[in-house]
Amino acid sequence: MDGDLELEDSIDGYNSVKIVMLGESGVGKTSLALRFIEGVFPAPKPTIAVSYFSKKLFIDTQMIVAKIWDTSGQERFRSLVPLYYRGASSAVVVFDITSMETFQTLKFWVEELKSNIEGEIKIFVVANKCDLEKNRQVSKEESMNYAKSIGAKFFQTSALSGECVQELFRDACIQGISITDNKSLQNQNNAQLEPKEDMTNQNPPSFCC
Ligand SMILES: Nc1nc2c(ncn2[C@@H]2O[C@H](COP(=O)(O)OP(=O)(O)O)[C@@H](O)[C@H]2O)c(=O)[nH]1
Ligand SMILES: [Mg+2]
């Protein structure tokens, strides 16, 4: 079922995409992941220790398992273990539009990601808390330009209202699965796993909201 919350790292029989969440503490990483998985804005859970979520979804005609790795507070130390990044195909790098500081440190997280990842990864720059427009400190234009400069896609979301959250994670799966499929192809030389045409589009228009 779509709302399943699972803590194990093995879901057999389906292609899966590993998505890592990055960004400063408090920007809404856990809220976005839970909004996607459970479809609700979670009540504040300061002690939340869950760091792994999964959800099955159909993409084209394939059942895909989105495996979302969320930090459980370690990001406060600006350090995540290499295992966190290993095998990731998509990275969702989040900042809070009401905090310029969280946007400034986005660059740190992108560098951190690049120095920990081997091979290709799709990056998604996410401007969260767009329901708090009146407190905005970071303009949409500035953040979009930054995303463009690093070849990332850009989404503006609200875990509170749900705006663009499904679209974000769905796209992270679509983009990620093309990488995962390519890795499988290289490893297995299996022509049947050839990525579908619409999943291999490397630079589709990046816009939401
Ligand atoms: N208004 C608003 N608050 C949010 C949003 N996303 C998260 N929050 C709040 O921001 C705080 C930090 O969220 P959390 O998901 O724990 O951030 P994390 O530390 O990055 O995982 C919590 O109080 C959330 O309720 C959002 O889109 N809009
Ligand atoms: Mg969190």
Q: Which residues surround ligand 1 with Cβ inside 6 Å?
A: 25-31, 44, 128-129, 131-132, 158-160
Q: List the chain pLDDT tens, one digit each, 209 residues.
A: 333 333 333 456 788 999 999 999 999 999 999 999 999 998 876 555 558 899 999 988 889 999 999 988 888 888 888 889 999 999 999 999 999 999 999 999 999 999 999 889 999 999 999 999 999 999 999 999 999 999 999 999 999 999 999 999 999 999 998 776 665 555 555 444 443 333 333 344 455 66
* Cα gap 21→34, rounded to integer Å: 12
* Cα gap 19→45, rounded to integer Å: 22
pLDDT at 69: 95
Domain with residues 10-185, CATH architecture:
3-Layer(aba) Sandwich (3.40)
pLDDT at 11: 56
pLDDT at 177: 86
Mutate to test the pocket of ligand 1, among 31, 92, 99 (most ligand atoms within 8 A of CB): 31
H or E, element range at 102: helix 100-104
Two tokens at 64? Answer: 């895909």
Q: Which residue's CA is the closest to the ligand 1 atom numbered 23?
A: 44
Domain boundaries along the sequence of the chain:
10-185
pLDDT at 77: 86
Enumerate residues 6+ apart whose C-beta is below 8 A from 190.
184
* Number of residues in the chain: 209
Q: Which residue's CA is the closest to the ligand 1 atom numbered 1?
A: 129
